[in-house]
A and B are shown apart, each in its own frame.
Chain A
Amino acid sequence: NAGVTQTPKFRVLKTGQSMTLLCAQDMNHEYMYWYRQDPGMGLRLIHYSVGEGTTAKGEVPDGYNVSRLKKQNFLLGLESAAPSQTSVYFCASSLPGGGLNHEQYFGPGTRLTVT
């Protein structure tokens, strides 16, 4: 099993450009999450999904959109990138049934720089 994979691994954007980050998991997990990691701030939840076709806002959702059209995929979109969105983005997945309480499995991360 590949676990949780993320593409791309690195990306540089200019202010105002758009992009989509793809997360895929092969563990048949119901729950998926997008986090951003910034120095000294730990991980902050952007959006999450408790199942196919369902998404919800996390702690820092502004400037991002997500979609979960297939159970195994969770997409994070930036419509108009800003320098404040320079960060490392992590996707994670977990089991259902109170899944927010369960162990989360993380992808390797995407390092995004917005100039």
Chain B
Amino acid sequence: AQSVTQLGSHVSVSEGALVLLRCNYSSSVPPYLFWYVQYPNQGLQLLLKYTTGATLVKGINGFEAEFKKSETSFHLTKPSAHMSDAAEYFCAVSYNDMRFGAGTRLTVKP
């Protein structure tokens, strides 16, 4: 069975600073990996996904994530945070079913 661990339930950065949200997965087979974003009072929307191929995946709004098999990680980054990036971010792993991490709430300070 697969599972996801997101390190840090809450991350706070200043506007313009690097955003790093950590995700580690456990899977006995090659996984499909996703990052979703949830803005207040909304459903989840896809930021990016890794299925096969290039390990550096670019998503919407300037986010990207790198699949590192040796570290079983899929961390999400953005070089420069904007106020509009404040939201909750979920990492998910999928093979036979989709498992979500507990989420990381990102706060961006002016």
Q: Which residues of B contact A (CB under 8 A)?
A: 4, 9, 32, 34, 36, 41-46, 49, 51, 90, 94-98, 100-103
Contact = CB atoms under 8 A, between A and B. Distances in A.
B51 to A, nearest CB: 8
B40 to A, nearest CB: 11
Given A40-B102, A42-B101, A43-B100, A101 B42 contact: no
Interface in A52-95: 58, 90, 92
Nearest to A94: B98
A113 to B, nearest CB: 15
A101 B43 contact: no
Contact of B102 (A41, A90, A107): A41
Contact of A103 (B4, B34, B43, B103): B34
Nearest to B32: A101
Contacts of A112: none
Contacts of A107: 43
A3 to B, nearest CB: 9
